Structure 1
Amino acid sequence: MTTPSTPALVSVNDARDTVVTRPSRDEALKAVRTLLAWAGDNPDREGLKDTPKRVVDAYAEWFDGYDADPAKELSRTFEDVQGYDDMVLLRDIEVESHCEHHMAPFLGKAYVAYIPTEKVVGISKLARVVEIFSRRLQTQETLTQLIAEAIESNLQPAGVAIMIDAEHQCMTTRGVHHRHVSTITTRFTGVFKTDEALKDRFLKLAKG
């Protein structure tokens, strides 16, 4: 991720439209050194000398969703759908995200469906939208909502269905230390919200 010349990023939560200044790379490196020292170790010892650089580089990759635009990914559509008006479903999209509460990873799968009206989008673009929002800080609930909003606002489908099934490392590696507990979130719009049979069909297809 390349830091912009006028660094800024946009929050994805309640202050979704708030623009905040992004610190410099040097400031980020110093922050990692501070955390290493706070944890009780020596940032200057051999094994940790390059850790700030590695951490900052990792953060640049984990959170590069702030520099990407989901609307741009969904902007190239195809109108020749040959009358197709049934569900388009992608299963098992990898979700690698970080919870905003502890900045700990949550990992799982996303299931994304929509019913086209006049246009469809390349299926890889749907996976890319999941990836963009996943590479930001938010709760799983917000992530689910943002994916649905992006697809609905850009494709104007008859309906959107999203399900995310993920395990949260803030629950498995700290706190209650309960492993193998998954969290499932869903979001349904349009005909998926009003047609229970269609919703049930999506859930059955999503889980195979």
Structure 2
Amino acid sequence: MLHADPESLENKMKDSREFMEAVRKLIQVCGDDPDRQGLQETPFRVMKKFLEYTEGYREEPKAHLEKLFDVDHRDLIMVKDIDFDSVCEHHFAPIFGVAHVGYIPNGKITGLSKIARMVDGYAKRFQVQERLTNQIAEAMEEVLRPQGVMVVIEAKHMCMCGRGVKKRDSVTVSTASRGIFAENPEKRKEFLSLLKN
């Protein structure tokens, strides 16, 4: 997006230069030469990568859900295995996994792809999995006003799999339930049994 304010654009360019210089220094701290052929373009690539990883800050993810349809459906709708990638806010390490989102409508449904776009919007921010899970559930609840919402996220965190304790195969599971799913164990059980199948 172009900004009419030249001072704002100049500040952004200055910030970009400072960021890229910091990446050059990081390369040196790690023990390599930022001027060698393979690393000369790396500071720019790193900046571009972070802008891509954080696209969710430049949108309102729940707005994707606002395309609503009047449909008389009173049972569970579930979208399984919505793949996503994110960035751990503690280490800037990748998080990747799948989200499962289910809801019981209250007269209104949204497009299935809109749910996936909303998940991506929240995932493409600096995140912790617990917040991501709740943001998805709260967006569904706020926009659709369903009888209930349930979200399950299964993800691998490279801050745990690739560094620190290095538990390569560990998967973190988080849940959020609202409305009828929070109140009714049978509805929760229905969601989880469909998830297993």
1:120-169, CA deviations, whole angstroms, 9 ceiling, x for partnerless residues? 11010100111011110111001101111111111111111000001111
Q: Which residue of 2 aligns with 1:158?
A: 147
Q: Which residue of 2 aligns with 1:104?
A: 93
1:177 to 154, 166, 180: 166
Aligned to 1:24, what secondary structure does the other structure show?
Answer: helix
Relative to structure 1, the CA distance from residue 177 to residue 32 in structure 2 (aligned partners, 3 Å threshold; closer, same or farther) is same
How many pairs does the alignment contain? 192
Separation in structure 1 between the aligned mates of residue 3 and residue 62 of structure 2, nearest angstrom: 20
Q: Which runs of 4+ in 1 moved over 4 A?
A: 2-7
Aligned to 1:85, what secondary structure does the other structure show?
Answer: coil
Relative to structure 1, the CA distance from residue 100 to residue 190 in structure 2 (aligned partners, 3 Å threshold; closer, same or farther) is same
1:72 to 63, 80, 83: 63
1:1-47, CA deviations, whole angstroms, 9 ceiling, x for partnerless residues? x576677xxxxxxxxxxxxx997322322222122122121111111
1:168-191, CA deviations, whole angstroms, 9 ceiling, x for partnerless residues? 111111111111110000000000
Separation in structure 1 between the aligned mates of residue 3 and residue 31 of structure 2, nearest angstrom: 34
CA RMSD of aligned residues (A): 1.9
**Deviation at residue 202 of structure 1 after TM alignment:** 0.5
Tell me, yes or no, if structure 1 residue 93 matches structure 2 residue 82.
yes
Q: Give unpaired runs (5+ residues) of structure 1.
A: 8-20
Q: Which residue of 1 aligns with 2:195?
A: 206
Q: Which residue of 2 aligns with 1:194?
A: 183
Q: Which residue of 1 aligns with 2:47?
A: 56
Relative to structure 1, the CA distance from residue 162 to residue 25 in structure 2 (aligned partners, 3 Å threshold; closer, same or farther) is same
Aligned to 2:66, what secondary structure does the other structure show?
Answer: coil
Q: TM-score, normalised by structure 2?
A: 0.91
Q: TM-score, normalised by structure 1?
A: 0.86
Separation in structure 2 between the aligned mates of residue 74 and residue 132 of structure 1, nearest angstrom: 11
Asked if the contact 2:73/2:107 (under 8 Å) is kept, the reply is no
Q: Give unpaired runs (5+ residues) of structure 2.
A: none
Q: Which residue of 1 aligns with 2:18?
A: 27
**Deviation at residue 204 of structure 1 after TM alignment:** 1.3
Aligned to 1:103, what secondary structure does the other structure show?
Answer: coil
Separation in structure 2 between the aligned mates of residue 56 and residue 173 of structure 1, nearest angstrom: 22
**Deviation at residue 60 of structure 1 after TM alignment:** 1.3
Separation in structure 2 between the aligned mates of residue 148 and residue 3 of structure 1, nearest angstrom: 33
Taking the TM superposition and a 5 Å limit, the aligned residue runs for 1:102-141 are: 102-141=91-130
Percentage of pairs with the same residue: 41
Give the counterpart letter for 1:40 in structure 2. G
Q: Which has the larger radius of gyration?
A: 2
